[in-house]
Amino acid sequence: MKQILKIEHIEKYYGNKGNITKAIDDISFEVQNGEFIAIMGASGSGKTTLLNCISTIDTVSAGHIFLDNADITEIMEKELARFRRENLGFIFQDFNLLDTLTISENIAMALTINKVPVEEIDPRVKKMAEKLDIVPILDKFPYQVSGGQKQRCACARAMINSPKLILADEPTGALDSHSAQMLLTTIQTMNQEFDATILMVTHDAFTASYAKRILFLKDGHIFTEIIRGEQSRKQLFGKILDVMTLLGGDLSDVR
Amino acid sequence: MYGKLILRNAKRSIKDYLIYIITLTLCVTMFYSFLSISSNYYHPSIGVQYNLNILSDAMKAAICAITFLLLFLIKYVNNYMIRRKQKEFAIQTVMGMEQKTTATLFFLETLIMGLVALGMGIILGTFCSQFITAMLLSAYGQPFQLSWMLYPDTVLLTIMFFTISFVLIGLFNIRTIRKIKVIDMLNADKKNEPHFKKSKWMPIITVLFSIFLIIMLVTGISKMYYYFDTRLPFSVHLMFWGNILIPAFTLVGILAWIFLHKKFGFSKLVIFLLIMALAATASSASVPVLQMKYYLALGTGTNNSYMIFLLVGLVFIICAVFYLASNVITSMKEKSLQKKYYEENLFFFGQIISKLKTTTKTMTLICLTLVLSISMFLIEPALNGWVSGYLDTRSVFDVQVLSQYNKAFDIKELPNTNYDFVTEYLAENNIQIIDDCSFSLYLPMAEDFHQRIKWSFPVLAISLSDYNHLLDMRGLDTITLDENEFTTQWQSIATEEERNEFIESHSTVRTDAGILEMASENASDAALGEYLYNNYTDVVYVFPDEICKQLLSVNRNRAIKTAEPLPYDVAIGLQQEFERKFPEQPEGVNYYIRTSTQQINSTTASNFVMQASMTYGAVVLLIMCFTILALQQLLDATHYKYRFGVLRKLGVDETHINRLVLKQLGVWFGLPIGIAVLASTVFGGYFFNMFSSQISAYIGAEILAVQILLIAGILLILLTCYFVSTWILFNRTIRKE
Residue B639, chain A, CB below 8 Å: the answer is yes
Q: Are B116 and B183 in contact (CB under 8 A)?
A: no
pLDDT of amino acid B147: 67
Contact criterion met (CB < 8 Å) for A90 and B649: yes
Tell me, yes or no, whether B226 and B169 share the same domain: no
Confidence at residue A123, expressed as pLDDT on a 0 to 100 scale: 92
Mean pLDDT of B318-342: 86
* Banded model confidence at residue B120, pLDDT cuts 50, 70, 90: very high
In this structure, are B164 and B71 located in the same domain?
yes
- Rounded to the nearest angstrom, the minimum Cα separation between B173 and chain A is 31
* pLDDT confidence bin for B47, thresholds 50/70/90: low
Minimal CA separation from A212 to chain B, in Å: 27
The answer on pLDDT for A253 being more than 60 is no
Domain ranges in chain A? 3-254
For chain A, what's the residue count?
255
The amino acid present at A212, given as its one-letter code, is: K
| Strand bridging mode B514-524 / B508-511 | antiparallel
Given A96, A113, A116, which is nearest B344 (Cβ)? Answer: A113
Q: Is B651 on the interface with A (CB under 8 A)?
A: yes
Give burial (CB, 10 Å; 0-12/13-18/19+) of B139.
buried
The reported pLDDT for the residue numbered B535 is 82
Q: Which residues of B touch A108 (CB under 8 A)?
A: 341, 346
Among B210, B367, B219, which Cα is nearest to B307's?
B219
Cα A219 to its chain centre, rounded Å, is 20
Residues of A in contact with B650 (CB under 8 A): 84-85, 90, 109-110, 113, 157
pLDDT tens, residue by residue, B594-618: 888 887 777 777 777 777 888 888 8
- Residues of A at the B interface, defined by Cβ within 8 angstroms: 57, 78, 81-86, 88, 90, 92, 96-101, 105, 108-113, 115-116, 118-119, 121-122, 141-143, 157
- Asked if B190 has any chain A CB less than 8 Å from its own CB, the reply is no
Residue B289 makes CB contacts below 8 A (sequence gap 6+) with B689, B690
C-beta contacts of A176-179 below 8 A and 24+ residues apart? A176/A147, A178/A148, A179/A146, A179/A147, A179/A148, A179/A151
Q: Please report, as a single letter, which amino acid is at residue B370.
A: L
Q: Are residues B81 and B180 in the same domain?
A: yes
Question: What does the pLDDT look like over B504-558, one tens digit per residue?
Answer: 888 889 998 888 988 888 888 888 888 888 888 889 999 999 888 899 898 999 9
The answer to whether residue B2 sits within a structural domain is yes
B230–A contact, CB cutoff 8 A: no
Q: Counting Cβ atoms within 10 Å, is residue A157 exposed (0-12), middle (13-18) or buried (19+)? A: buried
The backbone torsions φ and ψ at residue A30, rounded to the nearest 5 degrees and listed phi first, read -130, 150
Tens of pLDDT, residue by residue over A42-71, are 888 888 889 888 888 888 889 999 988 888
Is residue B180 domain-shared with residue B205, that is, in the same domain?
Answer: no
State whether B141 and B251 are in the same domain. no
In chain B, residues with a C-beta closer than 8 Å to the C-beta of A85 are 650-652
Sheet holding A88-91, edge to edge: A88-91, A165-169, A198-202, A36-40, A213-218, A221-227
Give the full edge-to-edge strand order of the sheet including B461-463.
Answer: B508-511, B514-524, B485-490, B539-543, B461-463, B433-443, B552-562, B399-404, B590-595
For residue B90, being part of any structural domain is answered with yes
**What residues of chain B lie within 8 A of the CB of A100, using their CB?**
196, 347, 350-351, 353-354, 643
Q: What is the pLDDT of residue B249?
A: 94
Chain A residue with minimum CA distance to B190: A94
Closest Cα in chain A to B354: A100
- Among B527, B542, B564, the domain-final residue is B564
Residue B301 backbone class (left: φ over 0; alpha: ψ -120 to 50; beta: rest): left
Same domain, B53 and B155: yes
B357 within a domain of the structure (yes/no)? no
A101–B196: do the CB atoms touch at under 8 Å?
no
Percent of chain B residues past pLDDT 90, beyond the cut: 16
Q: Do A85 and B652 touch (CB under 8 A)?
A: yes
Closest CA in chain B for residue A77: B653
- Whether residue B130 lies inside any domain: the answer is yes
Domain stop point among B306, B335, B364: B335
Contact state of A112 with B342 under an 8 Å Cβ cutoff? yes
Using an 8 Å CB-CB cutoff, list chain A residues near B346. Answer: 101, 105, 108-109, 112
Give the contacts of B667 (CB within 8 A, at least 6 positions apart).
Answer: B352
Spatial contact of B697 and B492, defined as CB atoms under 8 Å apart: yes
Residue contact B649–A96, C-beta within 8 A: yes
Are residues B173 and B206 both part of a single domain? no
Closest-CA residue of A relative to B350 is A100
pLDDT tens, residue by residue, B341-393: 888 888 888 888 888 887 888 888 899 999 988 888 888 777 777 777 777 77
pLDDT at B497: 77
Residues in contact with B191: Cβ distance below 8 Å, sequence separation at least 6, in sequence order: B638
Least CB–CB distance from B337: residue in A109, A118, A142: A118
Tell whether B361 is within 8 A of chain A (Cβ). no
Which residues of chain A lie closer than 8 angstroms to B658, CB-CB? none
Pairing of strands A36-40, A213-218: parallel
- Residue B737 touches partner A, C-beta closer than 8 Å: no
Helix (H) or strand (E) holding A106: helix A103-113
The distance of B183 to chain A (nearest Cα, Å) reads 20
Q: Beta strand A213-218 with A221-227: parallel, antiparallel or unpaired?
A: antiparallel
What band does B675 get if pLDDT is binned at 50, 70 and 90?
Answer: very high
**pLDDT, tens digit (0-9, with 9 covering 90-100), for B268-322:** 899 999 999 999 999 998 888 888 778 777 877 788 888 889 889 989 999 999 8
- Give ipTM to 2 decimals: 0.84
Q: Is the CB of residue B334 less than 8 Å away from at least one CB of chain A?
A: no
Q: Is B670 on the interface with A (CB under 8 A)?
A: no
Domain contains B557: yes
Whether chain A has a CB inside 8 Å of the CB on B362: the answer is: no
Residues B137 and B210 in one domain: no
Is B195's Cβ below 8 Å from some Cβ in A? yes
Question: CB distance B193–A108 less than 8 Å?
Answer: no
Rounded Cα distance between B162 and B169, Å, is: 10
Tell whether B314 and B286 lie within a shared domain.
yes
Contact A100 B341 (CB under 8 A): no
In DSSP terms, A71 is beta-bridged to A66
Backbone region of residue B536 per phi and psi (left: phi > 0; alpha: psi in -120 to 50; beta: other values): left
Nearest to B47 by CA among B148, B151, B150, B143: B143
**Statement: residue B226 has pLDDT above 50:** yes
- In eight-state DSSP terms, residue B493 is T
CA distance A4 to A33: 5
User: What are the phi and psi torsion angles at A201 (to 5°)?
Assistant: -105, 130
Residue B193 — pLDDT band, cuts 50, 70, 90?
A: very low
Q: Is any Cβ of chain A less than 8 angstroms from the Cβ of B191?
A: no
- How far apart CA B188 and CA B183 sit, in angstroms, is 8
Nearby residues of B635 by Cβ (< 8 Å), 6 or more positions away: B80, B83
Mutation site for B-interface testing, chosen from A57, A58, A76, A113 by largest number of B Cβ within 10 Å: A113
Helix (H) or strand (E) holding B5: helix B2-12
Q: For chain A, give the mean pLDDT.
A: 86
Q: Does residue B132 contact residue B34 with C-beta atoms inside 8 Å?
A: yes
User: pLDDT tens-digit profile of B5-34?
Assistant: 777 777 777 777 777 888 889 888 888 888
Same-domain pairing of B424 and B532:
yes
Q: Answer for the pair A243, A249: CB distance below 8 angstroms, yes or no.
A: no
Alpha-carbon gap, residue B103 to B81, rounded angstroms: 12
Q: Express the helix, strand and coil content of chain B in percent, nearest 5 each.
A: 70, 10, 20
pLDDT at B499: 85
Domain-embedded: residue B471: yes
Cβ-nearest to A112 among B193, B343, B354: B343
Segment holding A23, helix H or strand E: strand A19-32
Task: Select the residue of B338, B353, B652 nearest A113 (Cβ to Cβ).
Answer: B652
Task: Round to whole Å and give the CA distance between B185 and B82.
Answer: 10
B643 sits in which H/E element: helix B637-650
Using CA atoms, how far apart are residues A14 and B134, in angstroms rounded to an integer? 63
Asked whether the beta carbons of residue B650 and residue A109 sit closer than 8 angstroms, the reply is yes
CATH homologous superfamily of A3-254 equals P-loop containing nucleotide triphosphate hydrolases (3.40.50.300)
Q: Smallest Cβ distance to A141: which of B196, B347, B652?
A: B196
Q: How many C-alpha atoms does B603 have within 13 Å on its Cβ side? A: 23
Domain that holds residue B447: 399-564
Q: What is the CA radius of gyration of chain A?
A: 19
Residues of B whose CB is below 8 A from A96:
645-646, 649
pLDDT at B208 over 70: yes
B contact test, residue of A92, A109, A119, A144 with most B CBs within 10 A: A109
**Considering CB atoms only, which of A100, A111, A122 is closest to B354?**
A100
What is the count of residue pairs from A and B with beta carbons less than 8 Å apart? 83
Task: Tell me, yes or no, whether B89 and B218 share the same domain.
Answer: no
3-state secondary structure B195-255: CCCCCCHHHHHHHHHHHHHHHHHHHHHHHHHHHCCCCCCHHHHHHHHHHHHHHHHHHHHHH
What Cα–Cα distance (Å) separates residue A39 from each residue in A182, A195, A213, A215, B681?
20, 19, 9, 5, 65
Sheet containing strand A70-71, strands side by side: A19-32, A3-16, A62-67, A70-71
Q: What is the CA radius of gyration of chain B?
A: 33
**Calpha distance A198→A211 (Å, rounded):** 9
Q: Tell me, yes or no, whether B87 and B226 share the same domain.
A: no
**Pick from B164, B190, B216: which residue ends a domain?**
B190
Least Cα distance to B460 among B441, B447, B439, B479 occurs for B441
On whether the CB atoms of residues B48 and B567 are closer than 8 A, the answer is yes
Whether residues B196 and A112 touch (CB distance < 8 A) is answered with no
Mean predicted lDDT score pLDDT of chain B: 84
Q: How far apart are CA A136 and CA A132, in angstroms?
A: 11
* Smallest CA–CA distance from A84 into chain B, residue: B651
Q: What is the largest CA-CA distance in chain A?
A: 67
Question: What's the confidence (pLDDT) of residue B184?
Answer: 79
Residue B458 sits at φ, ψ, to 5 deg, of -70, 145
Spatial CA neighbour of B371 closest among B679, B38, B35: B679
